[in-house]
């Protein structure tokens, strides 16, 4: 059984051009590896998006001088 849980066998029709581009960009050795990486990346991206939505935003008033000071303070 692969890490992360049980696997599922399925048949899909996927645009060959997209598959080749994604495989070249990701350097995945197999289509299976490409799909796994893609699903993991999508899940991670959506989790980050949800977290950002929950945290909201706040004004950050930081000048270059202030940033230098923060870096120096460690």
Is a pLDDT exceeding 90 seen at residue 2? no
Is a pLDDT exceeding 70 seen at residue 74? no
The reported pLDDT for the residue numbered 37 is: 96
Considering only CA atoms, give the Rg of the chain.
20
**Residue 9 falls within a domain, yes or no?**
no
Residues 6+ apart with CB under 8 A from 22: 28, 34, 38
pLDDT digits (tens, 9 = 90+) for 25-58: 999 999 999 999 999 999 999 999 998 888 877 7
**Residue 52 falls within a domain, yes or no?**
yes
**Residue 40 falls within a domain, yes or no?**
yes
Note down the domain range covering 33: 16-57
**Residue 49 falls within a domain, yes or no?**
yes
| CA dist., res. 57 & res. 60, Å (int) | 9
The reported pLDDT for the residue numbered 66 is: 86
**Residue 68 falls within a domain, yes or no?**
no
- Count structural domains, the chain: 1
């Amino acid at each position: 059984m692969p890490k992360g849980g049980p696997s599922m066998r399925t048949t899909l029709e996927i645009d060959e051009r997209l598959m080749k581009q994604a495989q070249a960009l990701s350097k995945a050795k197999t289509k299976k590896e490409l799909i796994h990486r893609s699903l993991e990346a999508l899940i991670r991206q959506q989790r980050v998006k949800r977290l950002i939505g929950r945290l909201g935003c706040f004004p950050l008033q930081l000048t270059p001088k202030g940033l230098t000071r923060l870096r120096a303070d460690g």
